[in-house]
Amino acid sequence: MINAQEILFKSVQKALKELYSIDSTNIVFQKTRKEFEGDFTLVTFPFIKEAKKSPEQVGQELGDYLVKNEKTVIAFNVVKGFLNIVLSDAFWLSYFNSVKDSSFIGFKKPESSGRTVMLEYASPNTNKPLHLGHVRNLLVGFSVAEILKANGHKVIKASIVNDRGIHICKSMLAWKKWGNNETPVSTGMKGDHLVGKYYVKYDQEYKKEIDYAQKTALQAWIKIWAKKPAKEGEISNQMIMLFAVMIFKLIQSFDQGKPKQLTEVEIDKLASGNVQDLEEEREEEFMDDAAHMFYNGLKKELEGKKLFYKIGTDGKKEFDEIFEFIKAKLPLVMEVQDMLRKWEAGDKETVNLWKMMNGWVYEGFDVTYKTVGVDFDQTYYESNTYILGKEIVQDGLAKGIFYKKENGSVAIDLRPEGLDEKVVLRSDGTSVYITQDIGTAIERFKQFPDLKQLIYTVGNEQDFHFKVLFKILEKLGYDWAKECYHLSYGMVELPEGKMKSREGTVVDADDLLGEMFTTAEETTKELGKVEGFNEDELKDLYHTIGSGALKYFILKVDPKKKMLFDPKESIDFNGNTGPFIQYTHARIKSVLRKSESSFEASLNSISFNALEREIIKHIYDFESVVEESGNTYSPALIANYVYELTKTFNKFYHDHSILKEENEDVKVFRLQMAKACSQTIANAMGLLGIKVPEKM
């Protein structure tokens, strides 16, 4: 394509050499600001030292040289150290003629760069429906993938589904205990929402256990404390454990609907520090399987920890510390951990339950993905990949990249790199999260031998995780490691702060989308713009406008930055919004439909008015904006760009008539320009995953 900056670069380089004997490759042009005449601006300050002249003088002399020697430059002006260069209408027209009929203005040819990248996004957990945070992930991920495609790369869109682990078991357990065999069909609920309901249920029930445990335990503790346990003014681990086990028993009685309290006798025994009796009693009296597991679990936790407390204070701090242990070992926790063990052991009933409930979730997710308009070329499941990475760690251990700690765990020391020490294998030989990330990354490069880069669309709370991951891969000797990129996006915050699923402050994705469609419908009806549409077309239109508003709202913000979303203030449809841009597109299309004459033939010469010139230059900029947004992984650049273009066109549309223009050449040009504009708008919006309507 015709490149103005390249032409100017060469001429200025020559001019500097001839006029001042300066050899410079550091010549950068910026767009001339609207308030000055000109197309491109050269800042002359960098050259004044070597030229030994004032900025104004350098500007004047360079300008003279360009006008004389470069035919595309027809005029210039100098303001302080700024040389504003004016290119000829002929230049802009020839550029315009080269793109006016293209349907991929600004785009490189598909897969022309020869580069293959995998972009991972979405990455949901299968225990709850998607929320606003996921929506930003989906939109940013999808859009960046499209932008990279527009830059000529081959992009594999991938999702890794977090379908296993303790949090998945929570919803399974809760459904099993309290679900009454509910299904999406029996309840009419979307599958992911049904499963999410039981994830919340688990948490509520667990909270009840905690509350009761705390109340009961504190009462007993106060009594024990008041009796000042003997033993040199100290309370032993053993005693704490017995205490904890008794609390555990109480919670069981609570869960069975028959809450009990510790008896005075029991408290006396605990307080006296004479725990012999209780220990003997524990077998028959209160050590069933669950309690036994609890006892052993707690024993392991406390091993090696010094938990002797001096008497003297009110004992509250001590209680809190002990209670932290108890909290992590309550009956529901034990049960859910047991379920995970069964899942890992392949227990049939558990696996079947897991398959069934995950199936519900996938059906739900598919609906949401379809509504949002995102898709994947590859789907990975953690249940298949969580084992990966262990051998790699063993290899790395042999090579001395990792080391074994005294407790048997394997770790890497990244402190010299300014990071931290990181465990990559537990002392029992099981993997941690990063282990499988190491494994899956390597696996993907094996699966796709052409792969050059992995991009992870994950929130910025994981910045540290990815720094560590990439550094480890680099140390393991994979040269693609430095090509890996964490597409880190900021959190979406509500006016009252961060979203917390446990506190019910999340904005549900399906609800949000539904509201957007409704608002689009209401607004369209209010404006009386429903004529000429049938039912299906209208539904389509509301979907286009509603999701366009939401997508644009989210994508216009730099992904790296956190953003605020206020659900109470619904998203605007006026001003710097998706619908504004969609509206402009529809308006152009309406004009084009109404044009009776054809306007295909290229013009040989024309003189532009200021707005026409501005619009052509805007279209010209699109290609470099697409490049820049690809280089910086930023859909926001595209959003801001298309808004500016649209605004400029609207101004033109307001000030000048297209169809009623009397000069035939001008009319033809304006139609061509309008068409190119609508194409550019459609292309830009397409990169954001936003459709543009023919009419609205």
Pairwise CA distance, residues 17 & 25, whole Å? 11
Q: Residue 99, interface with RNA (CB under 7 A)?
A: no
In whole angstroms, the minimum distance from the beta carbon of 467 to RNA comes to: 9
Pairwise CA distance, residues 548 & 382, whole Å? 32
Q: Residue 82, interface with RNA (CB under 7 A)?
A: yes
Whether 638 and 598 have beta carbons less than 8 Å apart is answered as: no
Q: Residue 460, interface with RNA (CB under 7 A)?
A: yes
Which residue bears the tokens 């203030």?
Answer: 569
User: x/- binding map, residues 111-140, to RNA, per CB under 7 A?
Assistant: --------------x---------------
Q: In 3D, which of 155, 154, 153, 150 has the Cα closest to residue 624?
A: 150
Provide the 10 A C-beta neighbour count for residue 682. Answer: 21
Whether 172 and 353 have beta carbons less than 8 Å apart is answered as: yes
The only residue of 7, 19, 67, 79 in contact with RNA, by rule CB under 7 A: 79
Contacts of 568 (CB under 8 A, 6+ apart): 495
Site for RNA in 372-391 (CB under 7 A): 382, 386
Buried b (16+ CB within 10 A) or exposed e, 128-165: bbbbbbbbbbbbbbbbbbbbbbbbbbbbbbbbbbbbbb
Site for RNA in 158-217 (CB under 7 A): 162, 164-167
The only residue of 520, 619, 676, 685 in contact with RNA, by rule CB under 7 A: 520
Residue among 449 and 575 whose Cβ is closer to RNA? 575
The only residue of 258, 305, 348, 660 in contact with RNA, by rule CB under 7 A: 660
Q: Residue 426, interface with RNA (CB under 7 A)?
A: yes
Site for RNA in 432-451 (CB under 7 A): 432-434
Contacts of 376 (CB under 8 A, 6+ apart): 122, 157, 158, 159, 369
Residue among 351 and 659 whose Cβ is closer to RNA? 659
In whole angstroms, the minimum distance from the beta carbon of 461 to RNA comes to: 4
Q: Residue 152 carries which side chain, given as an amino acid letter?
A: G
Q: Residue 650, interface with RNA (CB under 7 A)?
A: yes
Helix, strand or coil for residue 353? helix
To the nearest 10°, report the CA torsion of 215, 216, 221, 222. 60
Tokens for 554? Answer: 């989210």
Stretch that binds RNA, among 7-15, 252-260, 286-294, 422-430 (CB under 7 A): 422-430
Provide the 10 A C-beta neighbour count for residue 108. Answer: 17
The only residue of 523, 547, 629, 678 in contact with RNA, by rule CB under 7 A: 523
Q: Residue 316, interface with RNA (CB under 7 A)?
A: no
Stretch that binds RNA, among 278-286, 504-512, 524-532, 682-690 (CB under 7 A): 524-532
Residue among 108 and 647 whose Cβ is closer to RNA? 647
To the nearest 10°, report the CA torsion of 182, 187, 188, 194. -50
In whole angstroms, the minimum distance from the beta carbon of 309 to RNA comes to: 24
Stretch that binds RNA, among 95-103, 114-122, 139-147, 516-524 (CB under 7 A): 516-524
Q: In 3D, which of 445, 434, 444 has the Cα closest to residue 411?
A: 434
User: x/- binding map, residues 467-506, to RNA, per CB under 7 A?
Assistant: -----------------------xx-----xx--------
In whole angstroms, the minimum distance from the beta carbon of 558 to RNA comes to: 3
Site for RNA in 42-71 (CB under 7 A): 43, 45-46
Whether 177 and 523 have beta carbons less than 8 Å apart is answered as: no
- Tell whether the torsion through CA atoms of 262, 264, 267 and 269 is positive or negative: negative
Contacts of 150 (CB under 8 A, 6+ apart): 106, 107, 108, 626, 630, 683, 687
In whole angstroms, the minimum distance from the beta carbon of 288 to RNA comes to: 26
The only residue of 28, 185, 226, 356 in contact with RNA, by rule CB under 7 A: 28
Q: E strands within 51-105?
A: 73-79, 82-87
Site for RNA in 546-605 (CB under 7 A): 556-558, 560-564, 572-577, 579-580, 583, 586-587, 589-591, 594
In whole angstroms, the minimum distance from the beta carbon of 169 to RNA comes to: 11
The only residue of 447, 651, 664, 665 in contact with RNA, by rule CB under 7 A: 651
Site for RNA in 210-249 (CB under 7 A): none
- Size of the residue set binding RNA (CB under 7 A): 94
Residue among 232 and 496 whose Cβ is closer to RNA? 496
Site for RNA in 333-362 (CB under 7 A): none
Whether 516 and 550 have beta carbons less than 8 Å apart is answered as: yes
